[in-house]
Structure 1
Amino acid sequence: MKVRLLVCMGWLMAFSAFAQWQPAGDKIKTRWASQIDVNNVLPEYPRPIMERAEWQNLNGLWNYAILPIGKQTPSTFDGKILVPFAIESSLSGVQKKVGRENELWYQREFTIPSKWKNNRILLHFGAVDWKADVWVNDIKVGRHTGGYTPFSFDITSALKSGSNTLVVKVWDPTNDGYQPRGKQVNRPEGIWYTSVTGIWQTVWLEPVPEKYITNVKITPDIDKNILTVEASVNEVSALDKIEVKVMDGSQVIASGRSINHLPVEITMPEQVKLWSPDSPFLYDLEITLWSDNKPQDKVNSYAAMRKYSIKRDNKGIVRLQLNNKDLFQFGPLDQGWWPDGLYTAPTDDALKFDIQKTKDLGFNMIRKHVKVEPARWYMHCDRLGMIVWQDMPNGDRGPHWQPRQYFNGVEWLRSPESEANYRKEWKEIIDFLYSYPCVGVWVPFNEAWGQFKTKEIAEWTKQYDPSRLVNPASGGNHYPVGDMLDLHNYPHPELYLYDGQRPTVLGEYGGIGWAVKGHLWEPDRNWGYVQFNSSKEVTDQYVEYAEQLKTLIKHGFSAAVYTQTTDVEVEVNGLMTYDREMIKMDEQRIKQVNSEICNILNY
C-alpha cells in the first residue's frame, strides 16, 4: 500500500508540474521539445572542464513577474516560467517580451541536503542576459553583468535551515543598450532574431570545502611535450600543493606537483596522443588541492595535446596549421538558435545533434557566430573533434562614425562605458573557454558591427592568449594585424583580396536558400542569398560553389565558412531546416565534396 501511495504521489506531482507548464505559441518546434521533463530539465553536469561529484540542479518551474524598473521585490507573481529557457521562448511557457523599461523577476525555494553540512555552498549561473541581481533569503549575494559567461556567488552566510528563498532580478535592454547581444533585436527581421532576456543556462548549487579550487587553466605545448595546469584557489597559502594526474583510461601516464601558487608543468610521454578532427583524443585529469598534507578538494577535468599555428607552405602561401601540419579548416556558420528554446537547446542531445551532424557532413570546423554556447557544447566539440572559431557577440555600434584610411574602412567610436564593457565581457569569454581544446580561433569583430580600435583589440587578444590564432575582423574593416585576413562574399566564393604575410580565409559565403513547407518559422516571409525549390537544386549549387572553392584554395584560401548550419527564423539558407527535421541537401554528395576540401592540402 505504501509503495502504491508513493507512486501515486509521484504521478500527481508530475501531473501538477505539467499542468503548470506547456510550450507557448504556435511556432514550429524540434523533436526534443516533447522530451523535456519539467522536474528534471537539462540534468547533465553543466561545467565539464572542472567537475565535482556533488551538485544540485535548480532548473525547473520558478515564479516570474515583469515589473517597471525600480519596483521592489514582487509580493505576487505573474505565473510560472521554466528555467533555463528565456522568457521570450516557447519552452519558457511564457513567450513574453520584457523591454528596457521593465525588469524580469524570478523566485523559487530550495533546501540544502543535510550531507552538505560543514561545506561552503556556491550558487552558479551558466548565463543570464544581461544584468542580474541575486538575493538569498532577502540578503543580496551578488550582481553580474554579461549575457554569455558563467558566474557564481558564495551564499553560505545567507542560508538557513529548511527552506531558502532565491530571487533573481534581470534587466536587458537588447539592441537599445551598449552591451554585446549578438543577433537579438526588439523587432526581428531578416538576419536579426528574437530577443533573449534572463536566465538561459543551468542554475545550480555546489558544496565545496573551506579551501577549494575556483578555476583551472590548461595549456598544452606539443613542441616541448609539456602540459601546464594552473589551478586557482579561493584562499591562497604558500603551504598549499596542487597535484595533477594525467590519465589514459584508467592508467596514470604522467603527473606533476607545484607549491607557491605556481602552475603544474607535466612532461608528457614521448608517444603522446595528439588531438585532431580525425582523432579527437582527450586525456582525463585529476586535480587535487593539498593543504597541511591533507587533500582539501579534488576536481576532474580533461585535456588535449594540440597546437594551432600558421606557416608558409612550399608555394609561398601562408597556411593554417594544426599540430604543425597544414590543414584546410572548413565548416558552417553556426548561429546556435532554436525555434522552441531560442538561445537554449531543449536537451543535451539536441545540443550535441548539430555538432554531430556537422561532423557527419564532412566538416572539420564550426564558426560559432556572435554567440557563446554553454560549456557542454564545447565539450561535445572536444569529444567529436570539431575545431571552433569563436566570435565575440556584437553589440553597441556607438553614436558616431570615425573614419579610417586602411582599405577605406570605417570604425565605430564607442562611449567609454561601452568600450570598457566590451573589454570586460571579451576577457570573460576568453577566460571561460580557455581550457576547451576545440577553440582554435578568436574573432573579436564581425563585419564592422561595432568594430573599434581593431589593432589594439587584436593585439591584446593575442597577448592574452598566445596559444590560439586571432581573426581580427571577419569580413570587416581590414587592418594588417592578427593572424589572418578574412573575406566575406555572397553567394559564391571569391578571392578578391590576398595577404602574402597572413593566411587569407573566406569567413562567409553561400547562403543557398530553400523554404521547405511545413518546416518554416513564418510561412510567408522567408529569404536566402539565392533560393531554389528542391534538394537536388540546392545540392547542385552547393557542389558548384565547392568546386570553385577548390580552385581558390590553390590560389590562396586557407579556410572557409559556409552559411549556414540551420535555417533561423525567416532565414532559409541552412543545411538543415530550423526544426532539424530535414537535411536539405544530398548528404552523401555533400560529405564527399566536403571531405575532399578538408583534405585538399594533404594531396
Structure 2
Amino acid sequence: MWAECVPAVHVERLTLTPHLGEGCVEVTVHAEAAGEARVEILAAGAAVARAVVPVGQPVRVPIPDARPWSPEDPFLYDVTVELGADRVRGYVGMRSFSVGPDENGVPRLLLNGRPYFHAGILDQGYWSDGMYTAPSDEAMIHDIATMKRLGFTMLRKHIKIEPLRWYYHCDRLGMLVWQDMVNGGGDYHPLVITAPVLTPLRLGDRRHRWFGRADAQGRARFRTELRDTVEHLRNVVSLAVWVPFNEGWGQFDAARIAAEVAELDPTRTVDHASGWHDQGGGDLKSLHVYFRRFRVPRRRRGDRRVLVLSEYGGYNLRVDGHAFNDKDFGYRRYGSAEQLGEAFSRLHVEQIVPAIRRGLSATVYTQLSDVEDELNGLLTYDRETLKLPAELVRSVNALLRLE
C-alpha cells in the first residue's frame, strides 16, 4: 500500500486504447476538474506524438509507423500526461485482438489481424510462501519468464485477479493473458459441476438454482464486479481474452454476460463458458478434456466461433522434498520424469498437433505449478524444480503454431 500527495487538480486515471489498424491511440484523461491535458507519446525515449486533450473526452492521437506489440516483439510506447502541475506516466502497446477466418476459411484467433496460435498454460497464482500473494516482484517475473522460456505464449490467469504489477511484467516480457472472472454464487449442484467431466451433459444456464445462482442480488453483484474488473484491467496490453465463467461454477445467462463484456470492451474476445455448459455465446467454443482422447468436434451449422482447448493434460508427478503434503491429485500419475516426458510429448504429437490443422486455435495445459495437493504442475509448488527438461517442453511447444 502507498499514499501519494497530489495537486488539487490531478489525473485520477488514464484510459489508453490502441487502434492498430488506424495507427492511433485513443486517450482519455479522467479527472474531477475540467480543463485540458498535454499528452506526449514516446518510442525508446523519443517523442513520436503530442496532443492537447480535453479532460473526460476520448481523443485519438496518431502514431506514425506504429510498431505492433506481440509476444515475439513486446514493444511498448511510453505515455506522459500533464494536467496543471500534475504529471503522470503510463505506457501502451499497439496491438489488436479479434476473430476471423484463415486462408482456408477456418475461424481463428487473430493477433494484429493475422491468425496466431495461443499456446497457453493454466496459472492459478498460488504460492507456497504467500498463498495468494507473491513473495516478491522477482517471484512474479520468474513464473512469467520461465513459461516464456519454455515456449508458452499465453497464461490463463485462473479465477484470480493479480496486482497490476504482474500484468505489467506480461506486457513487457511478451506473454498473452486470458483473464478469468472471480466466481460467485451459492452451493453448486454436484451433477452440474462434476458430471460433465465424464459425460456430454450440457445444461441451459437459465436454471439459476441448479448453478447456485438463485439469488438475484448475487447475480447483480457479479455483474457489478465484472464491470469493475474490465475497467481495472482495461489498459493491460497483453490481455487478449475475458473468461466470465469456468466449468459451470456460478454460471448464469452466460451468452448474455458475454454480450455485456463485448459491449464493455469490444477490443478483446470472450470465452463465455470455459469447459462445459456451452450456451452458444461469445467468440470461442471452449472445451476441457482430461479423461478421454481429444478429438475435434463437428462444427454446428452457422457456428463461426473459434475452437479452443482451454484445459487439458494435468499430468501428475510427485517430487519428493518439494510437495506440500502427502495428498496426491492429478489426472494421470507418473512415477518418473522420463515417464512424464514421454506422456507429455505423446499427448501433443498424437492429439493436439493434428487438431490444429482441423481448427484448434488455442490450448491451455494444466498447469504452471503444483498447488498444495495438486501435483500436476510443470514446476513444483516452491518453484525450485522444473519436472521436465526445458528443451523437451520447448520442442513440444514449437509444434503448437499455425503454418
After TM superposition, the score normalised by the length of structure 1 is 0.62
1:281 matched residue in structure 2: 75
1:577 matched residue in structure 2: 380
Structure 2 unmatched runs, 5+: 193-199, 206-210
Q: 2:104 aligned with 1:306, yes or no? A: no
Shift of 1:396: 1.5
Q: 2:287 aligned with 1:487, yes or no? A: yes
CA contact (8 A) 2:80 2:88 kept: yes
Shift of 1:373: 0.6
Give the structure with higher Rg (CA): 1
Shift of 1:276: 0.2
2:340 matched residue in structure 1: 538
**In 2, Cα distance between the equivalents of 1:342 and 1:248?**
38
2:369 matched residue in structure 1: 566
2:61 matched residue in structure 1: 266
2:28 matched residue in structure 1: 230
CA contact (8 A) 1:242 1:264 kept: no
**In 1, Cα distance between the equivalents of 2:3 and 2:394?**
43
Match of 2:358 among 551, 555, 558: 555
Match of 1:471 among 266, 271, 274: 271
CA contact (8 A) 1:445 1:476 kept: no
Q: 2:136 aligned with 1:316, yes or no? A: no
Instruction: Give, as a single letter, the amino acid of the residue that structure 1 aligns with 2:337.
Output: S
Matches within 5 A, 1:159-198: none
User: Deviations along 1:355-397, whole A, 9 cap, x unmatched?
Assistant: 0001000010110001111100000000110000000021214
Instruction: Give, as a single letter, the amino acid of the residue that structure 1 aligns with 2:329.
Output: W
**In 2, Cα distance between the equivalents of 1:399 and 1:366?**
27
Matches within 5 A, 1:416-495: 416-491=216-291, 492-495=293-296
Distance change (3 Å), C-alpha of 1:395 and 1:260: closer
CA contact (8 A) 1:407 1:478 kept: no
Query: Counterpart of 1:255 in 2: which secondary structure?
Result: strand
Distance change (3 Å), C-alpha of 1:301 and 1:489: same
**In 2, Cα distance between the equivalents of 1:407 and 1:481?**
17
CA contact (8 A) 2:188 2:250 kept: no
Q: 2:52 aligned with 1:257, yes or no? A: yes
**In 1, Cα distance between the equivalents of 2:333 and 2:317?**
5
Shift of 1:436: 0.8
**In 2, Cα distance between the equivalents of 1:218 and 1:554?**
36
* CA RMSD in angstroms, aligned pairs only: 1.8
Q: Which has the higher strand share?
A: 1
**In 1, Cα distance between the equivalents of 2:232 and 2:355?**
36
1:154 matched residue in structure 2: none
CA contact (8 A) 2:188 2:249 kept: no
**In 2, Cα distance between the equivalents of 1:311 and 1:453?**
25
Shift of 1:458: 0.7
CA contact (8 A) 2:39 2:53 kept: no
After TM superposition, the score normalised by the length of structure 2 is 0.92
Shift of 1:232: 0.6
User: Deviations along 1:281-332, whole A, 9 cap, x unmatched?
Assistant: 000000111xxxxx23111000000000111122221000100111010110
Instruction: Give, as a single letter, the amino acid of the residue that structure 2 aligns with 1:369.
Output: H
Match of 1:351 among 105, 126, 140: 140
Distance change (3 Å), C-alpha of 1:260 and 1:390: closer
**In 1, Cα distance between the equivalents of 2:344 and 2:320?**
21
Query: Counterpart of 2:221 in 1: which secondary structure?
Result: helix
Query: Counterpart of 2:5 in 1: which secondary structure?
Result: strand
User: Deviations along 1:175-206, whole A, 9 cap, x unmatched?
Assistant: xxxxxxxxxxxxxxxxxxxxxxxxxxxx2111
**In 1, Cα distance between the equivalents of 2:103 and 2:188?**
47
Matches within 5 A, 1:365-380: 365-380=154-169
Distance change (3 Å), C-alpha of 1:385 and 1:260: closer
**In 2, Cα distance between the equivalents of 1:283 and 1:389?**
22
**In 2, Cα distance between the equivalents of 1:461 and 1:350?**
31
**In 2, Cα distance between the equivalents of 1:479 and 1:380?**
34
1:394 matched residue in structure 2: 183
Matches within 5 A, 1:78-157: none
CA contact (8 A) 1:243 1:264 kept: no
1:135 matched residue in structure 2: none
CA contact (8 A) 1:397 1:451 kept: no
Identity %: 38
**In 2, Cα distance between the equivalents of 1:268 and 1:399?**
49
Instruction: Give, as a single letter, the amino acid of the residue that structure 2 aligns with 1:256.
Output: A
2:196 matched residue in structure 1: none
User: Deviations along 1:148-196, whole A, 9 cap, x unmatched?
Assistant: xxxxxxxxxxxxxxxxxxxxxxxxxxxxxxxxxxxxxxxxxxxxxxxxx
**In 2, Cα distance between the equivalents of 1:345 and 1:494?**
37
2:323 matched residue in structure 1: 520
User: Deviations along 1:377-434, whole A, 9 cap, x unmatched?
Assistant: 0000001100000000212146889x9xx97414323312211211111111111110
Distance change (3 Å), C-alpha of 1:441 and 1:417: same
Query: Counterpart of 1:536 in 2: which secondary structure?
Result: helix
Instruction: Give, as a single letter, the amino acid of the residue that structure 2 aligns with 1:355.
Output: I
Match of 1:501 among 278, 294, 304: 304
Query: Counterpart of 2:278 in 1: which secondary structure?
Result: coil
Instruction: Give, as a single letter, the amino acid of the residue that structure 1 aligns with 2:278.
Output: H
1:114 matched residue in structure 2: none
**In 1, Cα distance between the equivalents of 2:298 and 2:378?**
28
Aligned length: 386
Detail structure 1 runs of 4+ shifted over 2 Å in the superposition.
397-401, 410-414, 491-500
Shift of 1:264: 2.7
Structure 1 unmatched runs, 5+: 1-202, 290-294
Query: Counterpart of 2:155 in 1: which secondary structure?
Result: strand
Instruction: Give, as a single letter, the amino acid of the residue that structure 1 aligns with 2:77.
Output: Y
Distance change (3 Å), C-alpha of 1:219 and 1:490: same
Shift of 1:469: 0.4
CA contact (8 A) 1:498 1:556 kept: no
CA contact (8 A) 1:365 1:389 kept: yes
Query: Counterpart of 2:21 in 1: which secondary structure?
Result: coil
